[in-house]
Structure 1
Amino acid sequence: MGRKSPDFSVRSMPNKHADGVEGLLNLNKPAGLTSHDVVVRVRRLTHLSRVGHAGTLDPPATGVLIIGLGKGTKLIQFLHEYSKTYRATLTLGSRTDTYDATGKVIETRDVGRLSPTAVRTVLSGFEGTIEQTPPMYSALKWQGQRLYTLARQGIEVERRPRQVHIRRLTLLELSADTLTFEVECSGGTYVRVLADDIGLRLGCGAHLRQLTRTAVGPHTVEQALTLEALAEAVQRSTWRTHVIPLAQGLAGFPAIAVTSDGAKALRHGIPPKAAHVSRVDGVFGVGEPVALHGPDGALLAVGTACIDAAEMGRSAPAMVVVRLSRVLVDTL
């Protein structure tokens, strides 16, 4: 007899007291759900009111979707700084109006014979900093309206190109009519647009057939929890063991450890001065994000650096070194 699928309804879940749960969940989003759908299900399962997601995935896409819980929602804006890694499969020979398989075919071309060497040459041309024009079928707003709303009405408006960074773009598989690659890129990169651009440069046209986000910074799809597994963990009252603590939520971020006096100042909303710095981890420049940790390693706040990491130890004691963006400890 097959195992019964978990019921996601509110009434089916034990109504455990969930106050005090703060951190992140690394979930493996299934195809067919919007990122907001996942947030709604997590709210129902955990009975937490403060739940949000970082980095939207289109409904057909799968893979890593980071969910903020409680104060973890305050980290969401900073998770955008992490690079994202995707595995993408393209259908060669046809372009669509949405740049993916959900759209209407607007052009077909003969694929011909593509060699792996030729494809790798094309892919390498996209590495580095490039410009992308956001697609009309996107959630961006123009004069208060979502672009996809206008697109469904047959209206196209001018969109400003954006700079994105492609760290690496690697060919994984190539067949007569499909191409699969892995890309590591900056936040805000549209892989659908990349797929269309690659197809144009190959000369045959292409659209995105399948997309999986395999990593957001240090958070990988191998570590991700499915919604079914989360539901089962809620039923067993073990789901909290899957919550990534705040201190680990920004793993790999440049960081400053502050003294006990610096930690007390942060509780009053006062940014740290050079005299409060006990240790600097990583490299950062002026205006770049930096995490602030207390003497015990707890993540206290996130801000932007006022001076370079290299200058931190040579600054006047009274100089403010970080402009606060988010304070994660309760202020006094």
Structure 2
Amino acid sequence: MADLLHLVDKPEGWTSHDAVARLRTLLGESRMGHAGTLDPFASGLLLIGEGRATGFLGCLGLLPKRYLATARLGVATDTQDVTGTVTATSSRMPSLPEVEAALARFRGAIRQRPPLYSAVKVGGTRLYKAARRGVDLEREDRPVHVYELRLVGDALPEITLDVTVSRGTYVRTLAHDLGETLGCGAHLTALRRVESGPFQVDAALSCDRSSGHEEGAYRERALEPDRALSFLPRVRLSDDEAARLRHGRAPVLEADRVEEPDRCWPLPPGESGWPLALVDQAGSVLALARPWRDQVSGAAVALQRVLVGA
């Protein structure tokens, strides 16, 4: 069993689960999962973990994501994207200066209401399931962060945006809300994820059967945990500490032992800090942990996920 992170270029029309199922069949590995769901109509970078690499997918999901998004002004849909039913049209077409001015309102810390057709749960029910029954559940606005939002294509009535956002941000809702601000309505016609933190779609392999990629190509391109988690702050353990950790005993650590990464990626709203990667003397990641203060032993860590066995 391999413990690897695969960078996959998901085609349009595939669910994220379809992409995982394709690799599961191709690689003969049942223990697989993905970080950061992509809607079926979207394409681009999907991070898929194999073996013990599934244990740190939640950490990867915290990374900011960059997209190229194309929106059609003047038409709104119930799903806020091209797959939905048209709910409103407008003959009004804003000028490019108006579009640029409106974009400024969506940069930085904003609040966003999840779309009706989304997997967000309200009272234990998925919003999209309620919407299909004609039920409009009450949705609360949620804090998200738009780190970058640039207009890179202006073939009106379509515009293309280069946008980098925090976890939990719906780019189709961003397009919808932009249309509301402009007074003309809007929906997404195309969405492509090009980056997730330090990972880029240019380094990914397509999982489309027509690509012809075989098992060897995916394994050759995949990242081992120490490379995949190199963006995290880390603590290098002694041989004795590493041996105890393999048996589930968390080490006691001093703050000055933390090695910071070259670049510190922003965290989504509500997160207090990145996990620590606990590594052995060779730099291999053994576990993910959170700092905490033990009243008896002093500074310590709480283990989140041990990635190695005894």
TM-score normalised by structure 2 residue count: 0.90
Q: Identify which of 261, 273, 287 aligns with 1:301.
A: 287
Alpha-carbon deviations, 1:202-236, whole Å to 9, x = none? 2211001100000111111111101148974436x
Q: Identify which of 223, 229, 234 aligns with 1:250.
A: 229
Aligned in 2, Cα 1:292/1:220: closer, same or farther, shift over 3 Å? same
Distance apart, 1:118 and its partner CA: 2.8
- Which runs of 5 or more structure 1 residues have no equivalent in the other structure? 1-18, 308-314
Determine if the alignment matches structure 1 residue 97 to structure 2 residue 97: no
| Whole-angstrom distance in 2 between the partners of 1:148 and 1:25 | 29
Q: Which residue of 2 is the match for residue 194 of structure 1?
A: 174
Q: Which residue of 2 is the match for residue 86 of structure 1?
A: 67
Q: Which residue of 2 is the match for residue 271 of structure 1?
A: 250
Q: Identify which of 138, 143, 147 aligns with 1:158.
A: 138
| Whole-angstrom distance in 2 between the partners of 1:199 and 1:165 | 19
Name the aligned partner's letter for residue 56 of structure 1. T
Aligned residue pairs, count:
303
Name the aligned partner's letter for residue 188 of structure 1. G
| Whole-angstrom distance in 2 between the partners of 1:228 and 1:288 | 34
CA contact (8 A) 2:205 2:218 kept: no
| Whole-angstrom distance in 2 between the partners of 1:264 and 1:304 | 19
**Which protein, 1 or 2, shows the higher relative CO under an 8 Å CA cutoff with sep ≥ 6?**
2
1:136-175 correspondence runs (5 A): 136-175=116-155
Determine if the alignment matches structure 1 residue 25 to structure 2 residue 6: yes
Q: Which residue of 1 is the match for residue 190 of structure 2?
A: 210
Name the aligned partner's letter for residue 170 of structure 1. R
Determine if the alignment matches structure 1 residue 41 to structure 2 residue 27: no
Q: Percent identity?
A: 39
Distance apart, 1:192 and its partner CA: 0.9
CA contact (8 A) 2:253 2:301 kept: no
| Whole-angstrom distance in 2 between the partners of 1:40 and 1:189 | 26
Aligned in 2, Cα 1:158/1:207: closer, same or farther, shift over 3 Å? same
Q: Which residue of 1 is the match for residue 239 of structure 2?
A: 260
| Whole-angstrom distance in 2 between the partners of 1:317 and 1:277 | 19
CA contact (8 A) 1:255 1:281 kept: yes
CA contact (8 A) 1:258 1:294 kept: yes
- Which runs of 5 or more structure 2 residues have no equivalent in the other structure? none
Q: Which residue of 1 is the match for residue 95 of structure 2?
A: 114
Distance apart, 1:251 and its partner CA: 2.7
TM-score normalised by structure 1 residue count: 0.85
SS of the aligned residue for 1:158 comes to coil
Distance apart, 1:69 and its partner CA: 0.2
Larger Rg: 1
CA contact (8 A) 2:6 2:218 kept: no
Q: Which residue of 1 is the match for residue 206 of structure 2?
A: 226
Name the aligned partner's letter for residue 298 of structure 1. S
Distance apart, 1:158 and its partner CA: 0.7
